[in-house]
Structure 1
């Protein structure tokens, strides 16, 4: 609800967005408060109103049953494609169930939707070593105690999406591998390659991470807060990410000016190789710029 003023008159504008939270209705009757009307109009509680082309549902009636059915089908995603349903169900964090013995999560309301953790045979894939990033060393020494495995989002055993999860501290914690984007790659020097580490909570990877944090045994949420929070950024949409990337592109020189960053941001306290330590510090710089420069401009 927003109030705008036009020629000295206040107008209340109610915006109802085209989203999945239909149908909309009142929980109490609403009566017109105009004093010059002999029979005030009443918008009835629990009535569902629609507008089809240029025709409204009469104020003393509710919409036709086929219109109401459509609105409820929209709410529960019944009219969606499989890919659209996956995103809707992943957003319903609370209704996922984790089966530790089978390393699988399933959606309680429609169990044919699953997230399966698949053990990777690195020898079979002809990998010289297991996959890792600098953050795998934040809880351990010399790269021991973590494992990357693949996960698959499936519907009726058909793979919809696949990516990686990261078991930390010998499997006590599990997260979806953070998303990574190179901001500036114009130089071959490692210390001038700027990588942002983030979760976009509107896409599969970000949503899967929320589900793992909520349902995997242990307290991954506290680990993310205490160790990962200094370099991982959470966005609510791809649009938010794009805006911040544009900001960094225009202000990339800030990353070279160590004087503006607190000592804690520049600290390489973990026992990392220079290759990883540089990437870690750069990621912390970007997170600091996001919180202390970018958000203040928004």
Structure 2
């Protein structure tokens, strides 16, 4: 069954409500805050949570019983812009504020507001100027670091324990990450790497290195996407990511269009069109923000005009998913709409694949199938917005 982002959020929130308890990254509120200092304090605590994930303040649920009462009659109810304005007007250290998003869900015939506090490595969030609620005189104090341990926020007139503060600073500098996670983080900042075509090291942490080497086991046989290029010849290498000489990741690299463009090789996916796995459509894909896709972007030479053209042609037949969940659900969507898929494969939806004199029959069919799948992925996303 296809689920959109709201349905996935609803499923998670329903599970949290059914637990009838609060914990590190979620908090129940009967209604929206009447006290702006308490609102600010709760957001900061959640932004500094130690679960290292998005956090939720769930309005319209009794915190003791998990009973859903809704916020449709809540006189204190705020919209997203009002919540953002509350944060924008406060003086945070470095001008860096928590990022929030408000979603409204309908559960048990009630409206539930879910304030999502986005996970970030910019912790700890704290004020440089105290903020006091004018009515109650309750004060969020400057230079106090608040967090959430279990189901309990740091008291508003105190600072978090030193061990919790230390963790939040480690998170800011990536010290809480494993070497593999650090590598992922550093690959997002290409400008911090120094090197030439075959060897790179990270300027901030030179123990992280990337090396491109020949591999005699890789044959120079073109995959189907090579035939979308002006020059269909290919060659291969291997990229290896090391940490103090220990290999963290290794992946094949393909040089396309006469070596004008090179990228890590995308992964194979397979969509069954029957229940017996005999009629299968293969395709190539990346997962957004996984290490293979990060290296794909890292290797792209933005200053090369011909590389831009080759990359555009390459990505016309490569699927890029938001995450593994979307990939699996999209495969289900195609299986349930196989007639549309077959119709798209048979239609002339991209002119350059109609000349089948260059690619073999298998490559031509895979190009057509990939373009059809790209079209279906766009339609799938429109349905799940």
Scaled by the length of structure 2, the TM-score of the pair is 0.63
Match of 2:177 among 80, 104, 108: 80
5+ residue gaps, structure 2? 1-56, 61-69, 79-113
Residue 265 of structure 1 contacts residue 285 of structure 1 at CA under 8 Å; is this kept in 2? no
Question: Which structure 1 segments of 5+ residues have no match?
Answer: none
Aligned residues of 2:209 and 2:243 also touching (Cα < 8 A): yes
Change (3 A) 1:131 1:262: closer
Other-structure match for 1:94: 190
Map of 1:16 onto structure 2: 117
Name the SS for the 1:285 alignment partner. Answer: helix
Question: Displacement of 1:285 after TM fit?
Answer: 0.4
Cα offsets for 1:107-165 (capped at 9, x unmatched): 222121122111122xxx3x6x4242111222234x43x31111111111111221111
Pick from 71, 85, 109 the counterpart of residue 6 of structure 1. 71
CA displacement at 1:170 relative to structure 2: 3.0
Deviation at residue 279 of structure 1 after TM alignment: 0.6
Q: Secondary structure in 2 aligned to 1:6?
A: coil
1:160 maps onto 2:257 in alignment:
no
Aligned pairs for 1:232-243 (under 5 A) are 232-243=318-329
Q: Are the counterparts in 1 of residues 194 and 203 from structure 2 also a CA contact under 8 Å?
A: no
Q: Which residue in 2 is equivalent to 1:297?
A: 383
2:271, 2:281 within 8 Å by CA — same for their partners in 1? yes
- TM-score, normalising length: structure 1: 0.79
Correspondence for 2:155: 58
Q: Give the conservation status (yes or no) of the 8 Å contact 2:257–2:310.
A: no
Q: Distance in 2 between matches of 1:208 and 1:195?
A: 23
Kindly indicate whether the alpha-carbon contact (under 8 Å) linking 1:175 and 1:220 is maintained by their aligned counterparts in 2: no
Distance 1:140 1:15, change over 3 A: closer
Partner of 1:69: 166
- Indicate which of 87, 107, 131 corresponds to 2:202: 107
The alignment partner of 1:80 has SS state of coil
Q: 1:45 Cα shift?
A: 4.6
Q: 2:97 — aligned with what?
A: none
Alignment of 1:175-254 (within 5 A): 175-184=263-272, 193-213=280-300, 218-219=304-305, 222-223=308-309, 226-254=312-340
Change (3 A) 1:219 1:176: farther
Contact 2:345 2:369 in 1 (8 A): no
The residue that corresponds to 1:118 in the other structure is 213
- Residue by residue, what CA displacement relative to the aligned partner does 1:25-65 show, whole Å, maximum 9, x if unpaired? 3466433253xx3xx22323553212334654332443343
Whole-angstrom distance in 1 between the partners of 2:165 and 2:118: 17
**Count of equivalent residues:** 281
Q: Specify the alignment match of 2:362 in structure 1.
A: 275
Task: Summarize the alignment of residues 135-150 of structure 1 with structure 2, pairs less than 5 Å apart.
Answer: 135-141=225-231, 143-144=232-233, 146-150=234-238
